[in-house]
């Protein structure tokens, strides 16, 4: 048996189904700064006046079982195809 760490493995995996995430507070404010025209209209504030933003993920979130399964499937198919996927 061998153990290997593949840095940023989760960035290589596309989601198979939609996963939504709620960003709140500082992270929501930072997203607005990326592209104010695009994101400002989607921000709302909760009863504590904290900015909130729902997002749909394109990549699997780090540290989840789904991310691990998707990456294992990607790695397996890549190795079976001799490095081309």
What are the boundaries of each domain within the chain?
16-79
24 three-class SS: strand
What predicted TM-score, i.e. pTM, was given to this entire model? 0.59
Confidence of residue 26 (pLDDT cuts 50, 70, 90): very high
Condensed to tens digits (0 to 9), the pLDDT of residues 27-73 reads: 999 999 999 999 999 999 999 999 999 998 877 776 677 777 878 88
Does the pLDDT value for residue 17 go beyond 80?
no
Does the pLDDT value for residue 79 go beyond 70?
yes
- Tell me the CB-side half-sphere exposure of residue 43, using CA atoms within 13 A: 20
């Amino acid at each position: 048996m061998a153990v290997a760490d593949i840095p940023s493995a989760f960035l290589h995996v596309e989601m198979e189904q939609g996963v939504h995430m709620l960003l709140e507070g500082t992270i929501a404010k930072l997203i607005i700064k990326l592209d104010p025209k695009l994101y400002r209209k989607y921000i709302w504030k909760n009863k504590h006046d904290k900015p909130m933003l729902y997002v749909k993920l394109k990549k699997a979130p780090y540290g989840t079982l789904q991310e691990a399964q998707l990456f294992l499937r990607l790695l397996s198919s890549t190795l079976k195809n001799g490095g081309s996927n």
